[in-house]
């Protein structure tokens, strides 16, 4: 066997390894892009759920009884009647 045969064999083997590596890079790149798209979709769904939960928390905070007819907490705090003196049991 001559040196030319071994050089040709090494070149062919290297070319095959390069082609296989390029295909693997393309497959991995595609998988990462699909993962990114899936994560972004799930984050959008999570944002909707989180915003809905936050809106419910704020609504419950504004109306502690859960009734939409109840006065907001802010108005009930600053619109209340203040006592003029302590009750008799405190003297």
- Taking the C-alpha atoms of residue 14 and residue 69, their distance in angstroms, rounded to an integer, is 77
More confident residue, 13 or 80: 13
In Å, the largest CA–CA distance within the chain is 117
- Taking the C-alpha atoms of residue 40 and residue 32, their distance in angstroms, rounded to an integer, is 12
What tens digit of pLDDT does each residue of 42-91 get?
A: 999 999 999 999 988 887 777 666 665 655 556 555 655 656 667 677 76
Q: Where do the domains of the chain lie? A: 3-80
Contact 39, 47 (CB under 8 A): no
What is residue 77's predicted lDDT score, i.e. its pLDDT? 59
Contact 61, 73 (CB under 8 A): yes
* pTM for the predicted model, two decimal places: 0.55
What is residue 74's predicted lDDT score, i.e. its pLDDT? 62
Task: Using alpha carbons, select from 75, 50, 81, 51 the residue that is nearest to residue 62.
Answer: 75
């Amino acid at each position: 066997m001559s040196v030319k045969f071994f050089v040709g064999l090494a070149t062919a083997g290297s070319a095959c390894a390069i082609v296989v590596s390029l295909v693997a890079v393309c497959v991995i790149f595609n998988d990462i892009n699909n993962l990114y798209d899936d994560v972004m979709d799930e984050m959008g769904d999570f944002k909707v759920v989180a915003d809905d939960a936050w809106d419910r928390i704020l609504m419950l905070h504004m109306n502690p009884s859960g009734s939409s007819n109840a006065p907001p907490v802010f108005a009930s705090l600053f619109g209340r009647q203040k006592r003029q003196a302590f009750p008799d049991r405190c003297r």
